[in-house]
Amino acid sequence: MYINENSKVIVQGITGKQGMFHTKIMLNYGTKIVAGVTPGKGGQEVYGVPVFNEVKEAIQETSADTSIIFVPARFVLGAVLESLDAGIMMTCIITENVPVFDMIRLVEKATEKRLHLIGPNCPGMLIPDKIKLGIMPSDMCHYGDVAIISKSGTLSYEITKAIGNSDIGVSAYVGIGGDPVRGTTMQEAVKYYSEDPITKIIVLIGEIGSDEEEKTAEFIKNNVSKPVIAYIVGKSAPEGKRMGHAGAIISGDFGTARGKVQALKAAGALIADSPWDVPPIIKKFL
- Which of 198, 190, 257, 180 is closest to 219 using CA atoms? 190
Q: How far is CA 252 from CA 197, 206, 210, 241, in A?
A: 40, 18, 12, 11
- CB–CB of 208/220 below 8 Å? no
Enzyme catalytic residues: 245
- Which of 124, 119, 122, 156 is closest to 141 using CA atoms? 156
- SS3 sequence of 201-251: EEEEEEECCCCHHHHHHHHHHHHCCCCEEEEEECCCCCCCCCCCCCCCCCE
